[in-house]
Structure formats: C-alpha cells, structure tokens
Structure 1
Amino acid sequence: MSTLSLQTPDAEKRTASGPARIFRLLLRDPLATLAFAFLVVVVVCAVAGPFLIGDLIEKPNFRARNMPPFSLEQGFAYILGADTLGRSLLARLVVGARNTLGIATAAVLCSLVIGGTLGLIAGYSRGALGNLIMRATDIVMSFPSLLLALVVLFSLGPSVPNLVLVLAITRIPIYLRTTRAEVLEVRERMFVNAAVALGASHSRLIFRHIAPMVIPTLLTIGAIDFATVVLAESSLSFLGLGIQSPQFTWGSMVATGRGYLANAWWVAFWPGLMILLTTLSLNILSNWWRTYSDPQQRWRLELARRHRK
C-alpha cells in the first residue's frame, strides 16, 4: 500500500501537463471544445480543401448567378449559394480560409520571432542598445496600427509580402515589450545568478536559461493576437489594400458582396460570419489556454472537472 501511495501522485504529476491531460480538460469545457472543433474544421478545410474543389472558385456558372443558399439545384457545392458570377461561395470560403489564415500565421510568426528576439536583447542588455530598441518601439507604437498599415501599403503597393510585412511591424511592439518585462524579472532569479557564478556565457544565459521561461508567455499572446491579425487583414482587404485579384480573402469577399446586400446578401454574409466565428473561437480557446498555462489559475479547470464528475 505504501508503494502505491508513493507512486500514484508521481504518476498524476507526470500526466498532469501531458497532451492527453490537456485534451481531457478541454473536453470538460463545452464552449472551449466547440471553439477547438470549429478551428480544426477551418484549418483542415484551408489545408486540404483547395486540392479537392477543382476550378469551382474560378469557373463562372451564369445559370447559378446570385443563387440563394440552401439550394441544391447545382449540387452540394452551391449549398451556401453563389456570387454574382455564379461561382460557389462554399468553394471560395475554403480558398479564402487558406489565404486569410496563411497571411495571419506568417504575420504572427514574424512578429513573434522578431519581437521576441529584440525583447530578449532589450531586457538582458543594460546599456544603450536596450534603450535604443525601446525608443524605436515607442516610435512604432505612437502611430495607430491601422493608419500605419494604410500608409505603408499605399506607398509600397498592395501585395501579400507587403501585407505580411506591415501586419508584422504593427504587432512587433507587443511581443517586444512583453518579452522585455519577462526577461527583467527572470534574470534576477536565483538559477540565473547561479549560472552566472558558474561562468555561463551571455548566449547560454539568454537561450538556455531565460528564453525557455519566456516562450510559453509569447505563445499565449500569439494565440490571442492571431484573432486581431485576422481582423486587421480582413479590414485592409475590405479597403482594397490587402490581397489583390485574382487571389482573395474573406475580407475581400465581404468587400465584393457589399454592393449586393439588397438582392444577394449571402455573398457578403458568409465570409463575414466566418471572420466572426473564427476570431470568436480563437479568443475563447486562447482564454482557456491562458487559464490552463497559469498554475495559479489552473485549479479552476480542475475544480470544474471534479464538479462534473
């Protein structure tokens, strides 16, 4: 009995942070589970969908022009209706998901890597370099992000690389300032002082001891910020400064359909609904993950799980 009593808590600790444990806790929250399932469907459609729909997004079908939703006269591909050229809205939503999520993912990764790296340097450096980085960050933050994006895209021209660049630039200060604040706190901990006393180099201190403590926070912020980037990209595409024809995103689909709200509301409704549901699901799931990743808040999920038992 004593052996079992000693081993059982250890086994629970080993599985407490494992993927299976996370998934079980997620399933205990119906809202977070629904958000996770929706995002999985969107990602699967964005990755695999464009290879299965053929030329439905480009081939006009004038017999299905402005076809209302939930009509199967032209097949299941037209279940959500058709646009002004008779193209399947379902197929265009799938391809638009790939473009929208791809641009947002690239922008978040760029801003996370660049902002995190500069934040590590600014937080660890005690000299002029750290001050210079922070002053440059203050300059970027002094401009409204949407206004800065409009100016840059108007100057450089709308394109996918420019769109990713401007979205990343406007989000870098968030990761930089967060990383710097974390580093300023972590570098004063005892294990960092012990590594310094043992003769660890600056690069080893930063990447071996400090960075692993900061990365979980950055990933949580990245999950929350992803929804903001999706909305920013959709806004720029709606204004005509995002991705250009023949490529399209959900935002450009809404812009295309705004002129037909009186007689074909579904052309703008479905991509707008996808933007709403995607950003809402991302916020719900990121809030759940923030609660789980915080040891001082995780007891809420554990308590809810025990109550449901």
Structure 2
Amino acid sequence: MAMTETQTEAVPKTKEPGKFITILRLLWADKVATTAAIFVLIVIGCAILGPILLDGVATKANLRGRNAPPFDLSKGFLMILGGDQLGRPLLARIIVASGNTIAVATGAVVASMIVGSSLGLIAGYSRGRLGQVIPRLADVIMSFPSLLLAVIVLYMLAPSVGNIVLVLAITRIPIYLRTTRAEVLEIRERMFVQAAQVMGASTGRIIFRHIMPMILPTLLTIATLDFAFVMLAESSLSFLGIGIQPPEITWGLMVAQGRPYLTSAWWLSFWPGLAIILTTLSLNLLSNWMRVALDPTQRWRLEIGGKKNG
C-alpha cells in the first residue's frame, strides 16, 4: 500500500498552458490567420507611431517630386511608393493616414458595441415592455440604408471626426442589439440561469456574471468583422468628400485625391486602396478564425492542426 502511494506521489503533474499560450497555439495552427494577425499588428503599430514619427514628412510639399513614380529610391526610401500631386511621399502619408482611419473605425465599433449590447441585454432579459420597445428602435435604424443615413447626416452636420464616429456608430447599433438579444433570449432559459435566480442572485449579477461571458465571444467576432465594414464606410465617406477633410489624411481621402490622376499617376490611388483591401481582408480572415477558435464544437480542428505542427 505504501509503495502504491509513493508511486502515485512520484507522478509529476503536467502544468496546463495559460489562456494566452493556448490562443497563440490556436492562431499558429491556422497559418493564414497568423499572417492576417501579423499584418493587422503592423497596421496598428503604424497607426500609433506613424503620426508621431512621420507627421512632418507626410505634410511637407516638394514640387520637384510631383507625381514621382514608385520604386525610385534616388529620392529616398520614403519615396519608394512614389509621390503625390504635391511631391509628398506616399509611404509616409499612408502610414500617417492609418492613424485616422483606424481611430475612426475603432471609435465607431467600440461605441456601437457598448450601446448595442447593453440595449440587447436589457431587451433580451426583460420580460416586460422594454423587451418589446427596444427591438423596434433597431428596426427603425435598419429601415434606412446605413451609408445613405451617414451621407444625409454628415451633409447637414460638419464633417468632423466626432460626427463621423457618431454617425457610423449609430448605423451599427442594430447589429449588436439584435445579436445580443437573440443570444440572451436563449441563454436565460438555461438551467444555470434559473438556478441563480432561485438562489436569489440579483439581475445585475446574473447578466454580467453568467450571461455576458457566454455572449462575449460572439460579440468580439462580430466586432472584428464589423471593424472592416466601418473602415470601408469611412473610406467611402472620405471618397465622397463628406468624411475627414484636409489637412487631415485618411486612406479614403487619399484615393479620392488621386482620382483625377488615374490615367497619368495611377499609384496615387492604388497604394491607399491596396492598404484598405489588405486590412479589410486580414480582418475578415481573423474574424473567421475567431469564429472557429471561440466555438468549442469546432475548436478541435485548430487543436489537431496545432498538434501536427508541434
């Protein structure tokens, strides 16, 4: 008996990896998602550091370099993508413009997710009149095309960063409201929620302690996908001339400014347009990975892939 206990105690306990390590392993199992994540991190780094390091270079005109062609390193590395109509380096302007583009998209997504999910939690958990009134608010907003509503509002208001964030956030609220409400309607009938109610748990504790962690992965997946949509919407508004105005820079505004030169200097619109496409594509790929990684019924695919790669 003593020998058995000694042998049992001698067996080393395997330490399970933390959540962060597990997420990295799941991400590494999908090489496409890993590439997309690296690109998104590069864009975020440019958005944070670009305006600090290259703001002066991106706004300094040099008429000798007007519409300079790309891949000509004789004028310096920053001119590798060419120069714009005032001779400003396109690489520096794209890096600086990423700050405004990402800031507007982040503000709109975060604001719409907080407001929409909060209203969805109230509408889904409430069994009274609020559960019927709040969804009608989403129906009213969704009755107008989101981009058309943004165009109308920004035409009447000044096209500032705050107004753009506000308008884009309002148009995206119904997505989070309806998703959260549908999730809560299903979760509130589960046994663990009913057990918490019987034990006398408060409504706030049930919502934030038991229900919110269940729907948060879905909201994060939608937010990642919605980030790409909002970024495209902001670029469209800037392209139409009712978004962020010069001297501020966004990728959509750069595409619009290069439109008159498409036949003679195609690179003025091509490079910022390519930045929009690659960022949107990367966010969509990350959203697909998150949908699989956060779903326990599908996560085994990534776990098997991670073991093979390991």
| TM-score interval, normalised by the smaller of the two chains | over 0.9
Tell me which amino acid in the other structure corresponds to 1:63: R
Partner of 1:53: 54
Verify the 8 A CA contact 2:119 2:134 in the aligned structure 1: yes
- Could you tell me how far 1:235 is from its partner in structure 2? 0.7
Partner of 1:230: 231
Tell me the TM-score normalized by structure 2. Answer: 0.94
- Could you tell me how far 1:4 is from its partner in structure 2? 7.6
SS in 2 for 1:243: coil
- Could you tell me how far 1:280 is from its partner in structure 2? 0.2
- Could you tell me how far 1:186 is from its partner in structure 2? 1.3
SS in 2 for 1:86: coil
- Could you tell me how far 1:6 is from its partner in structure 2? 8.7
Q: Please identify, of 107-116 and 74-83, the stretch whose mean Cα deviation from structure 2 is larger.
A: 74-83
Tell me which amino acid in the other structure corresponds to 2:198: A
Partner of 1:260: 261
Tell me which amino acid in the other structure corresponds to 2:100: N
1:11-63 per-residue CA deviation (whole Å, 9 max, x = no partner) reads 4xx42x61112212322322111111111111111111222124112111011
Verify the 8 A CA contact 2:112 2:169 in the aligned structure 1: yes
Partner of 1:28: 29
Partner of 1:151: 152
SS in 2 for 1:245: coil
CA shift in 2, pair 1:149/1:3, >3 Å: farther
Structure 1: tracts of 5 or more residues without a match: none
SS in 2 for 1:127: coil
Partner of 2:200: 199
SS in 1 for 2:54: coil
Partner of 1:245: 246
Partner of 2:175: 174
User: Aligned partners of 1:32, 1:156: CA distance in 2, in Å?
Assistant: 39
Number of corresponding residues:
304
Tell me which amino acid in the other structure corresponds to 1:85: L
Partner of 2:95: 94
Tell me which amino acid in the other structure corresponds to 1:218: L
- Could you tell me how far 1:7 is from its partner in structure 2? 3.8
Verify the 8 A CA contact 2:83 2:90 in the aligned structure 1: yes
Tell me which amino acid in the other structure corresponds to 1:67: A
Tell me which amino acid in the other structure corresponds to 2:245: Q
Partner of 2:72: 71
Partner of 1:294: 295
Tell me which amino acid in the other structure corresponds to 2:21: A
CA shift in 2, pair 1:162/1:198, >3 Å: same
Partner of 2:119: 118
- Could you tell me how far 1:308 is from its partner in structure 2? 3.9
Verify the 8 A CA contact 2:221 2:291 in the aligned structure 1: yes
SS in 2 for 1:228: helix
1:254-303 per-residue CA deviation (whole Å, 9 max, x = no partner) reads 00001101111100000000000000001111111111100000111122
User: Aligned partners of 2:162, 2:228: CA distance in 1, in Å?
Assistant: 20
Verify the 8 A CA contact 2:82 2:90 in the aligned structure 1: yes
User: Aligned partners of 2:141, 2:10: CA distance in 1, in Å?
Assistant: 58
Work out whether 1:138 is the aligned partner of 2:160: no
User: Aligned partners of 1:172, 1:138: CA distance in 2, in Å?
Assistant: 11
User: Aligned partners of 1:25, 1:138: CA distance in 2, in Å?
Assistant: 38
Verify the 8 A CA contact 2:141 2:174 in the aligned structure 1: yes
Partner of 1:218: 219
User: Aligned partners of 2:153, 2:169: CA distance in 1, in Å?
Assistant: 12
Partner of 2:185: 184
- Could you tell me how far 1:5 is from its partner in structure 2? 7.1
User: Aligned partners of 1:82, 1:256: CA distance in 2, in Å?
Assistant: 13
Structure 2: tracts of 5 or more residues without a match: 1-6
Identity of aligned residues (%): 60
CA shift in 2, pair 1:198/1:28, >3 Å: closer
Partner of 1:129: 130
